[in-house]
Amino acid sequence: MENYLKNYPITQTAIQLGDREILLTIVDDPDHFLDKLSREDSKGTLFLPYWIYLWESAIGLARHVSKIRKTFSDKYILEIGCGFGLGGIVACQAGAKVIFTDFEYDALLFSKHNAQQNGINSAIFVQMDWNAPCFHSKFDVILGSDVIYEEQNWQPILCLLQSLLADEGIALFSEPNRKNADGFFRCIRENGFDFEKSTCSISLTQRTTSINIYTIKRV
Ligand SMILES: C[S@@+](CC[C@H](N)C(=O)[O-])C[C@H]1O[C@@H](n2cnc3c(N)ncnc32)[C@H](O)[C@@H]1O
């Protein structure tokens, strides 16, 4: 195992997507690590390292990308808050050029490792805070699984869509039916976007979660 993952207890999990399987290296016992890696900034705001979990939303998004994989060939794709990188990996395998981003450096180490162990060597990994996007080009597709959970993130993510999504592009977001999600989608409708929503059920460990998939376009 690569040296850069040595700070974490790791395990492997296989995600079945139709007739394909993605092998992911993830953090073992993330509950233990959540406390260890939590930190406060100078204003006392608590940062929780949510990237150490593989979320059901990632699997829901990956399944959706896998279903529409034929439309991804040669597309230029940005994944925000990529965590372990599952959605972007499926997009790469469909022939897209993907830039994986997260503001947590170690999430990028895991997503790069996961991409490589699934045969992807051409992807790009960039540490980026969605409050300060560092790209000037436009993307055909922007992927985000479970990134709109906190209201303070809505405006930066809306701005990122406004500045980085190509005119005819789509953003695919997934989230686990959180009560506050409607607020984000109301906000994007008031700001030049529209969306279609579908729902799927994802079983991870012993629970089954309903995951909403949003396909977002400019109006
Ligand atoms: C709930 S996790 C979802 C991770 C992954 N997409 C998944 O579904 O398994 C949220 C992700 O967003 C990242 N994140 C949180 N705030 C961010 C910010 N301001 N800029 C970039 N990434 C951020 C976290 O590091 C984490 O990887």
**49, 104 in Cβ contact below 8 A?**
yes
- Sign of the CA dihedral with 71 first, then 74, 76, and 77 last: positive
- The confidence score (pLDDT) of residue 39 equals 84
User: In this model, does residue 186 exceed pLDDT 80?
Assistant: yes
Regarding the beta carbon of 51 and ligand 1, being less than 6 Å apart is answered yes
- The confidence score (pLDDT) of residue 152 equals 93
Cα of 157 from ligand 1 centre, angstroms: 12
Task: Return the best residue to mutate from 104, 161, 177, 204 for the ligand 1 pocket (most ligand atoms within 8 A of CB).
Answer: 104
Regarding the beta carbon of 81 and ligand 1, being less than 6 Å apart is answered yes
The residue contributing the CA closest to ligand 1 atom 14 is: 81
Regarding the beta carbon of 26 and ligand 1, being less than 6 Å apart is answered no
3-state DSSP helix/strand/coil % of the chain, to nearest 5: 35, 35, 30
**57, 178 in Cβ contact below 8 A?**
no
Average pLDDT of the chain, as a whole number: 94
pTM equals 0.96
User: Measured at the alpha carbon of residue 191, what is the angle toward residues 132 and 156, in degrees to the nearest 5?
Assistant: 15
Rounded to whole angstroms, the Cα distance separating 50 from 59 reads 15
Regarding the beta carbon of 50 and ligand 1, being less than 6 Å apart is answered yes
pLDDT tens by residue, 78-137:
999 999 999 999 999 999 999 999 999 999 999 999 999 999 999 999 999 999 999 999
Tell me whether strands 193-204 and 207-218 are parallel, antiparallel or unpaired: antiparallel
Cα of 7 from ligand 1 centre, angstroms: 20
**Phi-psi domain of 174 (left: phi exceeds 0; alpha: psi -120 through 50; beta: other):** beta
pLDDT above 90 as % of the chain: 84
pLDDT above 70 as % of the chain: 99
| Helices marked H in 25-172 | 30-37, 56-67, 86-93, 105-117, 154-164
User: In this model, does residue 170 exceed pLDDT 80?
Assistant: yes
* Domains located in the chain, CATH noted: 55-218 (3.40.50.150)
Regarding the beta carbon of 173 and ligand 1, being less than 6 Å apart is answered no
Cα of 20 from ligand 1 centre, angstroms: 25
Question: What is the average per-residue pLDDT within 136-158?
Answer: 97
CB atoms closer than 10 angstroms to residue 199: 10
- The confidence score (pLDDT) of residue 40 equals 87
User: In this model, does residue 44 exceed pLDDT 90?
Assistant: no
Name 2's bridge partners. Answer: none
User: Coil, strand or helix: which one is 174?
Assistant: strand
- The confidence score (pLDDT) of residue 35 equals 83
Q: How far is CA 150 from CA 62, 67, 116, 131, 181, in A?
A: 22, 28, 31, 13, 9
Crossing angle between the packed helical segments 105-117 and 86-93, to the nearest 10 degrees? 40
Which ligand 1 atom is the nearest neighbour of the CA of 61? 8
